[in-house]
A and B are shown apart, each in its own frame.
Chain A
């Protein structure tokens, strides 16, 4: 019983991390069709933004307030990555819409530049972000099953982020404009929507959510300039498996990969488990190339 419960929790935890790193990509790649190889580096930027926030709290504020730095770090990470996304879109991405191969190469170049920039500013070795003490320890469900607060926090953060994204995309005026532009750019512009502004904002929001993911990753361990490269493949896997362009698909994709990953790792070993997961994904995509949740409508025929 303990084993099953803790494995389920592990699976959920991995799923939530996967989902968090993939959500931003679900917007930039899923909705906008930009193959954004710099997504991992936007995560890294978010992580370093958290690191800097922590240092500022350490240096300038009384120690009693230190524990609250993380609450501020989340919006700060979002904002820094959001602004970087705006700059990136205005200076590079907007010239590459509809050119997937070019954008793949160009954003990869951006990724390398950002990594080097991080190395120059913060140094090549990993840096540690000290988690706030209120996230230490865990909830004891029963003997042998402890749910760490950090992982619970990440699950909560994913749910809040998802909810905010859902409200923005499906319930707000700006979200409606965004969906209109992504579905039919020409017609949207003919209705008086500024497609330039919508593109810039959409890309920046996707980047900002990557920043939040970076902030959450600081809870899981030390961070370094190459942080993004560990997660970029996973992020693309989740979005492609879920079905490009569908938020629901991304959620199911992340949960599926997370759960199977835990399951296979439990049966075999960590590295073999990962291999098995990738084999399953490749096989599945052979069977259903459009992913789990494919858009189907007579309008697409």
Chain B
């Protein structure tokens, strides 16, 4: 469903990603691993359209999105939970979730119950401002906002960064639930190996802006981990 081919992208003069190719199948949980600074977030941003690709293509559901604006990509069914959550600070929690509906394919004005059911704490805080929430609560809000449009592909950029363990467990459960429903594929960037092993179907390891290794859960052995992931 998502196919990235020979992608080259970067900031200004510097090139971060070189010749990256990657595929996500419907309902699959694909994990993107690698040490700090290898270009994981850059890749996610290029897929979302926040960074322009210099070369290569981003194809989603048989339509070429390489030149499309982020809004077009969102409307074609890609949900995004960015690093740092990016909640709208001055808007209420409810308004933040409602904004997730902007990309929905149906012209609905109601938040789908299944998007919010996974985060029972959110409805109790609907009237508070997004900026006043704690980091973990903001992360849950960012998830609910992305799920409101019922995306077929969810891009998750370090969803567990700087969050207390109990909420990390909650988020793991949410990802598993999404996977079990089978409606949404996930491309997950995460540092914690234990976390990705518990949810992932397929793995890509980036190094110096290129895919250095890819394979299934069983292929991800100690040797590979030592080579590409241990510091």
Tell whether A3 is near chain B: CB-to-CB under 8 Å.
no
Query: Across the interface, do A192 and B89 meet the contact criterion of CB distance under 8 Å?
Result: no
Known A-B contacts A193-B71, A194-B71; A187 and B86 likewise in contact (beta carbons under 8 Å): yes
Interfacial chain B residues near A192, Cβ < 8 Å: 71, 74-75, 102-103, 149
Residue of B nearest to A175 (CB): B95
Which residue of the partner chain, among B49, B71, B89, B145, contacts A297 with CB atoms under 8 Å? B89
Which candidate, B17-25, B32-40, B125-133, B204-212, is the interface stretch facing chain A? Answer: B125-133
Query: Across the interface, do A193 and B99 meet the contact criterion of CB distance under 8 Å?
Result: yes
How many interface residues does B have (CB within 8 Å)? 28
Query: Across the interface, do A187 and B129 meet the contact criterion of CB distance under 8 Å?
Result: no
In chain B, positions 36-57 with a C-beta closer than 8 Å to chain A are 48-50
Which candidate, A178-186, A254-262, A264-272, is the interface stretch facing chain B? Answer: A178-186
| Interface membership of chain A positions 76-109, coded 1 if the CB is closer than 8 angstroms to chain B and 0 otherwise | 0000000000000000000000000000000000
Tell whether B202 is near chain A: CB-to-CB under 8 Å.
no
Which residue of the partner chain, among B50, B75, B89, contacts A183 with CB atoms under 8 Å? B89
**CB of A200 to closest CB in B, whole Å:** 14
Query: Across the interface, do B90 and A177 meet the contact criterion of CB distance under 8 Å?
Result: no
Tell whether A191 is near chain B: CB-to-CB under 8 Å.
yes
| Interface membership of chain B positions 81-112, coded 1 if the CB is closer than 8 angstroms to chain A and 0 otherwise | 01000111111000100111011000000000
Query: Across the interface, do A191 and B50 meet the contact criterion of CB distance under 8 Å?
Result: no
Interfacial chain A residues near B48, Cβ < 8 Å: 190
Interfacial chain B residues near A191, Cβ < 8 Å: 71, 74, 80, 99-100, 102-103, 145, 149
Query: Across the interface, do A177 and B102 meet the contact criterion of CB distance under 8 Å?
Result: yes
Query: Across the interface, do B98 and A190 meet the contact criterion of CB distance under 8 Å?
Result: no
In whole angstroms, what is the CA distance A295 to B88 when docked?
Answer: 14
Tell whether A164 is near chain B: CB-to-CB under 8 Å.
no
Query: Across the interface, do B90 and A183 meet the contact criterion of CB distance under 8 Å?
Result: yes
Tell whether B117 is near chain A: CB-to-CB under 8 Å.
no
Query: Across the interface, do B70 and A190 meet the contact criterion of CB distance under 8 Å?
Result: yes
Tell whether B193 is near chain A: CB-to-CB under 8 Å.
no
| Interface membership of chain A positions 264-301, coded 1 if the CB is closer than 8 angstroms to chain B and 0 otherwise | 00000000000000000000000000000001011110
In whole angstroms, what is the CA distance A191 to B70 when docked?
Answer: 8
Query: Across the interface, do A176 and B89 meet the contact criterion of CB distance under 8 Å?
Result: no
Residue of A nearest to B98 (CB): A176
Query: Across the interface, do B132 and A297 meet the contact criterion of CB distance under 8 Å?
Result: yes
In chain A, positions 161-219 with a C-beta closer than 8 Å to chain B are 176-177, 179-180, 183-184, 186-195
Residue of B nearest to A179 (CB): B91
Interfacial chain B residues near A190, Cβ < 8 Å: 48-50, 70-71, 74, 80, 82
Interfacial chain A residues near B99, Cβ < 8 Å: 176-177, 180, 188, 191, 193
Tell whether B69 is near chain A: CB-to-CB under 8 Å.
yes
Interfacial chain A residues near B130, Cβ < 8 Å: 299
Which residue of the partner chain, among B69, B75, B91, B149, contacts A180 with CB atoms under 8 Å? B91
In chain A, positions 134-169 with a C-beta closer than 8 Å to chain B are none
In whole angstroms, what is the CA distance A254 to B98 when docked?
Answer: 33
In whole angstroms, what is the CA distance A180 to B131 when docked?
Answer: 13
Closest 8 pairs between A and B when the two form their complex, measured CB to CB: A299-B131, A192-B103, A299-B89, A192-B74, A297-B131, A187-B86, A189-B70, A192-B102
- Besides A187-B86, A298-B131, 14 more A-B contacts (Cβ < 8 Å) are A180-B88, A184-B88, A188-B88, A188-B99, A190-B50, A190-B80, A190-B82, A191-B100, A191-B102, A193-B99, A194-B71, A297-B89, A297-B131, A299-B131
Q: Which residues of B contact A (CB under 8 A)?
A: 48-50, 69-71, 74-75, 80, 82, 86-91, 95, 98-100, 102-103, 129-132, 145, 149
Chosen A-B contacts, 20 in total, with CB atoms closer than 8 Å, are A177-B102, A179-B91, A183-B89, A183-B90, A184-B86, A186-B70, A186-B86, A187-B86, A189-B69, A189-B70, A190-B50, A190-B80, A191-B74, A191-B99, A191-B145, A193-B99, A295-B90, A297-B90, A298-B131, A299-B87
